[in-house]
Amino acid sequence: MLLCTSDTADLPLVAAALSMSREPIELHFAQGYTESELELERGEFEAVIIDIELGNGKGLELLERSAERHPTRPIVALLESPHEDLEHEAIRMGAADVLVRGEAPPGRIERAVRHAMERQRKAALSVPPPRESLVVAKDPHERRRKQLLEALPRAFERGEVILHYQPKVRTSDGALVGAEALMRWTSPEHGVVSPLEFVPLLEETGMVSEAGAWAIAEGARQARRWRDEGLAIRVAVNVSARQFVNTDLARIVQDSITRESIPASLLELELTESVLLETTEANRRKVSALREIGALVAIDDFGTGFATLSYIKRFPMDVLKIDRTFVRGLPIDNENAAITSAIVALGKSLGIEVVAEGVESEIEYEFLKSLGCPVCQGYLFGTAMSPEELSAWSRERARRGDAPR
């Protein structure tokens, strides 16, 4: 990893942070703007921490160039003091997180680097070649990508893309209270296609808004079917930033609940934290319009670096979803335990429901219950399953009077 800064006091702090990492990370140091520019040009690094105030603000240029030339390399920005505009700009240019000097102990730095690397590893699975590169011969991955791009529009028309649902359980009694809708694609030509492959292609082709509207309509339809079976299951549908900005989301939701004759409260819209970065009046109105209809608004992956208390104050919301990286290792990971406890307490004080994602073990679940976290979701309870499987799963649990395990 490369640390680009003019303050040598940052070096021992970052070194201490990396020593806490579960995987060995070699630290390289570039002091000042010129040396940082040279190192970024000639070196290959797992991750980069850049002081964006280097060279009287030229550090932002370094960050932008690094993000453009190495789109899969995670970047963490470093600031001398809190500055909302600079934080927004750093994130917009490609930083995965922003640290403020003096407010970031080694544990916070280690988490920022770890989360950035985890997120960029996922993104790397679908990053296309840089526009300026010359592709002489297409490798198998590129050929497959092109084939999937051609097949994707037909996949929705043919019914190859369906929704599966991962259950959410109430911690007080283990009851099924909701399910997250997740797209699944099984192609006759390409077999089962991972969402890590096709969701980025939806973004790239501009189909993500159309696909998102389909998911809302299908989620509402399934919520009505479950209601007809006597199951009050709230369906959560993911909304991309592009769909949120470019479509009339409230109208799409209203049309879906009217068509299915269901209460709006059976639909939950999961927004990403990136939506919060654009705190425009138009965006606030969009969120307010959803809540006026009666639909619930959730912030997904909360706590991974973008959202702040000021955003929670500006945007009305109903649900905070704790990112799975903070759930992993509970309660042994003291820092994750402290962060999770704080988010649960925040939700209680603001009257916002908190959902813990990625719960995989009994010990994690028991700790979350002890905190008073209202809802949990994860492999401990079940993977994403077909509507019929979830109905059967729910009936069997009710028959046996099961707690989660």
Task: Quickly list DSSP for 42-61.
Answer: H---S-EEEETTHHHHTHHH
Q: Which of 54-58, 155-159, 272-276, 301-305 has the highest mean pLDDT?
A: 155-159
Q: Is the pLDDT of residue 180 over 70?
A: yes
- Same domain? For 119 and 239 the reply is no
In a domain, 133, yes or no: no
- Residues 201 and 126: beta-carbon distance below 8 Å: yes
User: In this structure, how many other beta carbons lie within 10 angstroms of the beta carbon of residue 290?
Assistant: 27
Q: What confidence tier does 329 reach under pLDDT thresholds 50, 70, 90?
A: confident
Residue 369 pLDDT more than 50?
A: yes
Query: Of residues 400 and 200, which shows the higher confidence score?
Result: 200
For residues 300, 303, 304, 310, the Cα torsion angle rounded to the nearest 10 degrees is 90
Residues 100, 198 within the same domain: no
**Does residue 394 register a pLDDT over 60?**
yes
Question: Any residues with CB less than 8 A from the CB of 352 and at least 6 apart, and which?
Answer: 312, 317, 318, 319, 320, 346
Same domain, 254 and 118: no
- Quote the tokens at residue 142: 């590129």
Cα-based angle 102, 104, 107 (whole degrees, multiple of 5): 145
Quick one: pLDDT at residue 166?
95
Residues 71 and 153 placed together within one structural domain of the fold? no
Q: Calculate the average pLDDT of the chain.
A: 84
Per DSSP, which regions of 204-295 are E strands?
234-239, 267-271
- Range with the largest mean pLDDT of 26-40, 49-63, 103-117, 156-170: 156-170
Domain boundary among 66, 91, 124: 124
Is position 135 within any domain?
no
Total number of domains constituting the chain: 2
Say yes or no: 162 and 37 in one domain: no
Domain annotation covers residue 62: yes
Cα atoms in the 13 Å half-sphere on the side-chain side of 316: 13
- Per-residue model confidence as pLDDT tens digits over 261-298: 999 999 999 987 666 666 577 888 899 999 999 999 99
Tell me what pLDDT residue 55 has. 76
The secondary element (H helix, E strand) that includes residue 76 is strand 75-79
Residue 277 in tokens: 């970065």
Residue-range definition of the domain harbouring residue 88: 2-124
Residue 101 lies in a domain: yes
pLDDT at 159: 93
Whether 71 and 150 share a structural domain: no
**Domain end residue (candidates: 68, 100, 124):** 124
For residue 126, pLDDT over 80 is answered with no
Find the mean pLDDT for residues 313-342: 88
| pLDDT for the residue 278 | 61
* Mean pLDDT of the 135-156 span: 75
Which CATH number characterizes residue 188's domain? 3.20.20.450
Domain check: are 119 and 185 in the same one? no
Mean pLDDT value of segment 142-164 = 89
Residues 379-394: what's their mean pLDDT?
Answer: 93
What pLDDT score was predicted for residue 312? 74
* Per-residue pLDDT tens over the stretch 35-92: 888 888 777 788 899 998 887 778 888 888 888 888 778 888 888 877 767 777 788 7
CATH code for the domain of 75: 3.40.50.2300
Task: Kindly tell me if the per-residue pLDDT of 377 is higher than 50.
Answer: yes
| Between 370 and 306, residue with greater pLDDT | 370
Q: Are residues 273 and 342 in the same domain?
A: yes
Residue 298, phi then psi, degrees to nearest 5: -120, 150
- Check whether 307 has a pLDDT greater than 60: no
For residue 404, name the pLDDT band (cuts at 50, 70, 90). Answer: very low
